Amino acid sequence: MQAIVVNGKRLETDADPSTPLLWVLRDHLGLTGAKFGCGVGQCGACTVQIDGAAVRSCLAPLSAVGEGQVKTIEGLSADCSHPLQKAWIELNVAQCGYCQAGMLMAAEALLKAKPDPTDADIDAMVSNICRCGTYVRVRAGIHRAAAEIRKTRGA
Amino acid sequence: MNAISIDRRRFFVSVAAVGGALVVGVQPRNAAAGALASGIAPWLSIASDDTVTVFVATPEIGNGVLTQCAMLVAEELGCAWSHIHAEPATPTFNYLNGELYTKAMGRLGFFAGRSTTPARMTTLLQVGASARERLRAAAAQRWQVPVSEIEARDSLLRHKSSGRTLRYGEVAEQAAKVSMAEEPALKPQSQWSLLGKSRPGKLGAAKVVDGSAVYGMDVRLPGMLYAALRQAPVHGGRLKSYDFEAIRQMPGVHSVVVVDPSEPRTNIKVPAPLPDLTQAASGVAVVAEHYWQARQALDALPVAWEAGPGADWATHEKISAAALAVCEAPAKEVLSKGDALGRLGQAGAKTVSAAYLTPFCDHVTMEPLNGTALVTPERTDLWHPSQNPQQAFAIAVEESGVHPSNVHVHQTLVGGGFGRRVHCDDVRMVVAVARKVPGRPVHVIWSREESMRQGRYRPLVATKMTASLGEDGLPDAFLARYSGVGASTTGLVTCAYANGPIPNFRVEGQTVPAHIRTGPYRGPNYNAHAFMVESFIDECAAAAGADPLDYRLKLLARFDDPAWTKCLKVVAEKSGWGGRLPRGQGRGVAISNWSATAPGQPKEGTTVAAVARVEVSRAGELKVRQIDMAFDCGQVIDRDGVLAQLEGGAVFGLNMSLNEMLTIRDGQVVEGNYNEYPMLRMGDLPDIRIHFDALSGNDRYSEVGEPPVGPIGPAIANAIFAATGKRIRQTPFRLQDLSWA
């Protein structure tokens, strides 16, 4: 058995240490928010955070997580109150929605590093694929959430 | 508003009280006697806690169909938006109750592709109005006041003079007992407060952003096993041998299952939207406790395949060459107006001729193919992200051999469709695997590589066009010969130019029998032929020495739908058409139309005009800077939903034209993942600008998902020509030599 910390909770798993974190989360821990899209770190649907950094969980073996704090879409807020979640709902960002958990986790990591991101910052750090083509609204959602976070902080 | 009023000779509104809720359904009348068929298909229920449930046969694939259906009900019902939600209507219920849903909505009633089916729109408006009037009548009885004094709004019934209120839920049960001599007429469109305005908020949005939305991939059942699937890498090939002993001891491995298409299937048939049910592919699956274990074991499993006849079509170059060769010779006539052959044979006229080619492309839905089934001798349950649940039902019945009354399709959310999940070959494979593990739910997952190499691809299309230009420079005769794998006439026969603008118009075609499997892909065949025809029209304009926009305006003045001209004028103005650009930049224009009901006819379907502005470096690097689109679908119900579809359609059209191509080696699809099949990402996008100004207001609400995919590619190709003088006749553009001096 190995324990990892996910969304602030210590969880035990009997998954083999070589199992990618994505499948540990989805099949062993019942957290299906992070999605399987490609398995090769290309599409970003599986994006979670480890210690605040966006990570493509399909490539990260369980053994590499160690004591790192894993955060998934289920841990973004308890009640859809995160400014990114609110912006996503207000702007009707999602179409099929399958890639959006990964988009959101990449976006949140970006906003922590760059509270006032430029378009180029967004392009660089949110390189996830969306086949529905929601990119225009993803970008708008990030800018809207960034503005709200800055306002709340009185910046 | 004649276009949307319910056909009262064919349908009858029925109500019932079920567990304190008012349930409103629609009964079709039997054609002959006018008598009612048995059973009620519920369309709407209002529970005692005010919850409004709309039952929708069409799955949500991201196009917002559930939201639109709820909007239609809410417009007439006057319920609070926060109280409304949608649930799937099931194909099993439909089967057991005399096809009550498909009788109301037609053969494709369960098909996710069209969100604006007129029959569904009218029915939803009617059940909303019928429920509202019964609620008002019930409140009037309760208060002993005239119905006319009661207002129904925001899920509240209000007696205007006394100020008394009742919640909808408080009188729902009583409302089910109200009998009405006649169902209420629908509101005139001028009184709509929701429809045609911006969306009140997409249903299910919160579940998407908190990760609780359940797609096919997220189905979790007690005792569930996982299967990793591999099918014959040469389509149509067969499994020759495998060695289970090599993986038997690997962690979590349960069994290996073989799918053999030659095994006998049941003869139980149920009505299916697409009567030609897709066949099983020869394949092998490793079943294990967890997916990763199944995947690892499958990768380690020694497997040998027989290629079959597909080996004869070893490469995409061979297939493309065969398709282009077919286009050089006369083939079967599929459309002939006037005397195109005679005209083209005349000496002296200026002639333009060119052959175009588009490749196989995969849908690459973000959610890889997958599904879960539990099969026992008595019952089959399928949890599936289908685009066509009734098709899924028919296939699950046939593949499991269980009586249809005991086959249950549980529709999940769908992580992208674009046509890939219409024919339900994935359902066939899921059930084929699960029935070999009876009594255990099995979640069958295609890896991305398996999804990409076992696609039902966008057809490979080759088309040669020849036109002769009249005195005025416009084409007076046009001949198109198409070929390819899975190629069809859509976009040629259904082209507006065939209906007036070009008097002598002929289409011939013959496909190539290569083994690569094809299927519908967002705007089937239209997505290829729009590129070809609109590029070719540009070639004609260039030959005539005309501006491409003016040329199209002249040509389309002969088509009986002024909205086409309007689309062109709007998009020209908004894009700054004609304005000076630096060297290496250019603008291109294209216009096309997709209609599911009356393709190629004036005032039908959705017309989209696009202008692209591109920049091409001397070395040939292409950047698309700006896309402007103007469109006419008649009218819109869900304005923001329409905008989202056009934005997404533009991105889809961009990716298809710039990037997408599958190649074939040894009869197998080479590309398996996104590192080999590049996709546009956020930083690659041009400025995309959608303009609503060309909407005609014509009495139709045509679909907008497929149409925008058409004009993007040709607008870019025509812009490349304007920038460089190079005519690009193949996609993807990333593989063409665009360098210039």
**Domain of A142: which CATH number?**
1.10.150.120
Q: Which of A20, A132, A138 sits opposite B292 (nearest CB)?
A: A20
Do A123 and B445 lie within an 8 Å CB cutoff? no
How many residues are present in chain A?
155
Strand-pairing partners, residue B253, are B288
* Residue linked to tokens 């849908």: B363
Beta strands in B580-663 (DSSP E): 585-594, 606-616, 622-632
- Of the three residues A75, A103, A125, the one that is the final residue of a domain is A75
Lookup: tokens for B518? 């094809």
- A46 touches B at CB < 8 Å: no
Nearest CA distance, A154 vs chain B (angstrom): 26
Give mean pLDDT, residues A98-104: 98
Digit-coded pLDDT (tens) for A37-78 = 999 999 999 999 999 999 999 999 999 999 999 999 999 999
- Of the three residues A75, A99, A116, the one that is the final residue of a domain is A75
How would you list the strands of the sheet with B21-28, edge to edge?
B11-18, B21-28, B41-46, B52-56, B84-88
Digit-coded pLDDT (tens) for B636-681 = 999 999 999 999 999 999 999 999 999 999 999 999 999 999 999 9
Counting one residue from chain A and one from chain B, the pairs whose CB atoms sit within 8 A come to 183
* Residue among B417, B446, B421, B458 nearest B259 (CA): B446
Query: Would you say B286 and B317 are in contact if contact means Cβ atoms under 8 Å apart?
Result: no
Same domain, A71 and A91: no
What span, in angstroms and rounded, lies between the C-alpha atoms of B430 and B420? 15
Q: Which of B204, B290, B673 sits opposite A23 (nearest CB)?
A: B290
Domain containing A54 equals 2-75
- Of the three residues A50, A75, A100, the one that is the final residue of a domain is A75
In the prediction, which pLDDT does B199 show?
Answer: 77
Residues of chain B with pLDDT under 70: 1-11, 28-39, 114-116
Lookup: tokens for B715? 């607008």
Same domain, A7 and A66: yes
Do B651 and A124 lie within an 8 Å CB cutoff? no
Same domain, A142 and A87: yes
Q: Is B245 exposed, middle or buried (CB count within 10 Å of its CB: 0-12, 13-18, 19+)?
A: exposed
Give helix then strand counts, H and E, for chain B. Answer: 17, 28
Please determine, for the modelled complex, whether the ipTM score is greater than 0.90: yes
Which contacts qualify for A52-55: CB closer than 8 Å, 24 or more apart? A52/A109, A52/A112, A53/A109, A54/A105, A54/A106, A54/A109, A54/A110, A54/A125, A55/A21
Same domain, A71 and A27: yes
* Residue linked to tokens 């130019």: B497
Cβ partners under 8 Å of residue B324, min gap 6: B355, B357, B462, B464, B483
Q: Which of B208, B213, B365 sits opposite A131 (nearest CB)?
A: B365
Strand-strand pairing, B585-594 and B504-509: unpaired
Digit-coded pLDDT (tens) for B351-380 = 999 999 999 999 999 999 999 999 999 999
Cβ partners under 8 Å of residue B595, min gap 6: B494, B601, B604, B605, B606, B702
CATH number assigned to the domain comprising residue A35 = 3.10.20.30
Do B211 and A34 lie within an 8 Å CB cutoff? yes
In the prediction, which pLDDT does B56 show?
Answer: 93
**φ, ψ of residue B585 in degrees (nearest 5):** -110, 155
CA gyration radius, chain B: 28
Q: Which of B209, B291, B414 sits opposite A96 (nearest CB)?
A: B414
What residue type is assigned to position B322 of the chain?
A
* Residue among B578, B570, B548 nearest B474 (CA): B548
Do A36 and B679 lie within an 8 Å CB cutoff? no
In the prediction, which pLDDT does B116 show?
Answer: 64
**φ, ψ of residue A3 in degrees (nearest 5):** -110, 140
Strand-strand pairing, B475-485 and A47-50: unpaired
* Residues of chain B numbered 236-265 and touching chain A (CB < 8 Å): 251
Rounded to the nearest 5 percent, the helix, strand and coil shares of chain B are 30, 25, 45
In the prediction, which pLDDT does B112 show?
Answer: 83
In the prediction, which pLDDT does B449 show?
Answer: 98
- B385 touches A at CB < 8 Å: no
Lookup: tokens for B326? 């077919």
Same domain, A67 and A117: no
What residue type is assigned to position A46 of the chain?
C
Q: Which of A33, A85, A95 sits opposite B648 (nearest CB)?
A: A95
Same domain, A9 and A64: yes
Same domain, A6 and A67: yes
Do A34 and B682 lie within an 8 Å CB cutoff? no
Query: Is the N-terminal amide bond of B732 cis, ω within 30° of 0?
Result: yes
H-helix segments, B32-152: 65-77, 91-96, 100-105, 118-143
- B369 touches A at CB < 8 Å: no
Q: Is B646 exposed, middle or buried (CB count within 10 Å of its CB: 0-12, 13-18, 19+)?
A: buried
What span, in angstroms and rounded, lies between the C-alpha atoms of B298 and B288? 10
Nearest CA distance, B562 vs chain A (angstrom): 30
Work out how many domains chain A is built from and give that number: 2
What residue type is assigned to position B309 of the chain?
P
Query: Would you say B454 and B281 are in contact if contact means Cβ atoms under 8 Å apart?
Result: yes
Residue of B nearest to A26 (CA): B218
Ramachandran category for residue B332: left, alpha or beta (phi over 0 → left; psi -120 to 50 → alpha): beta
- A97 touches B at CB < 8 Å: yes
In eight-state DSSP terms, residue B437 is S
In the prediction, which pLDDT does B724 show?
Answer: 98
Same domain, A34 and A90: no
Structural domains present in chain B: 2-195 (3.30.365.10), 216-308+369-445 (3.30.365.10), 316-361+457-735 (3.30.365.10)
* Residue among A2, A29, A97 nearest B205 (CA): A97
Across chain B, which distance is largest between two alpha carbons, in Å?
Answer: 87
Cβ partners under 8 Å of residue B574, min gap 6: B611, B628, B630, B689, B691, B693
Same domain, A146 and A112: yes
- A69 touches B at CB < 8 Å: no
Q: Which residues of B touch A72 (CB under 8 A)?
A: 211
Do B291 and A27 lie within an 8 Å CB cutoff? yes
In the prediction, which pLDDT does B34 show?
Answer: 43
In the prediction, which pLDDT does A52 show?
Answer: 97
Strand-pairing partners, residue B167, are B156
The b/e string for A76-94 (b: 16+ C-beta within 10 A; e otherwise) is: beeebebbbbbbbbebbbb
Helices B639-658 and A135-152: crossing angle in degrees, nearest 10, is 120
Q: Which residues of A touch B641 (CB under 8 A)?
A: 92
Same domain, A144 and A105: yes
Q: Which of B209, B213, B366 sits opposite A104 (nearest CB)?
A: B209
In the prediction, which pLDDT does B30 show?
Answer: 58
Q: What angle do CA B239, B244, B250 make, to 5 degrees?
A: 135
H-helix segments, B215-326: 291-300, 316-326
In the prediction, which pLDDT does B35 show?
Answer: 46
Same domain, A46 and A102: no
Nearest CA distance, A37 vs chain B (angstrom): 6
Same domain, A7 and A67: yes
Secondary element (H or E) of residue B382: strand B380-384
